[in-house]
Amino acid sequence: MCLRELAASPEHCLVRTLLESWYADKSCAYCGKAVGKIDWLHHPTLMDPATKTTHEWNEIAPRDLPEVFKTHHPVCWNCHIAETFRREHPDLVTDRNWQH
């Protein structure tokens, strides 16, 4: 099964079940927000700790997911979008330290 077809897959698809189970008790590596129930449209992603890049599921072969889960960190959709923009357009990003 191709992971990009996951959202349309049956409820009890093995890959879907594997992803739901892995993310169930995880929090985003960037913002710390609990992933919780997966929104299959704006789904969480995975961060490679070596490169600090995030990857969507369709970039990973289903057979490789168990190994990837051992090394990668969960990232929520919002942080994935922000970090992808930061990586692709560093000249358009200004970091500020907000103090309360």
Centroid of chain to Cα 5: 16
pTM as predicted: 0.80
- Confidence band, pLDDT 50/70/90 cuts, at residue 10: low
Give the H/E segment covering residue 53. Answer: strand 53-55
Query: What is the spatial order of strands in the sheet that 53-55 belongs to?
Result: 53-55, 45-48, 73-75
Residue 28 pLDDT exceeds 90: yes
What is the pLDDT at residue 93? 87
Q: 73-75 and 53-55: which strand pairing?
A: unpaired
Q: Region 17-25: what's the mean pLDDT?
A: 91
- Confidence band, pLDDT 50/70/90 cuts, at residue 11: low
Residues 6+ apart with CB under 8 A from 6: 13, 15, 16, 19, 40, 57
What is the pLDDT at residue 7? 56
41-92 pLDDT, tens per residue? Answer: 889 999 999 999 999 988 888 889 999 999 999 999 999 999 999 999 999 9
What is the pLDDT at residue 8? 58
What is the pLDDT at residue 1? 46
What is the pLDDT at residue 9? 57
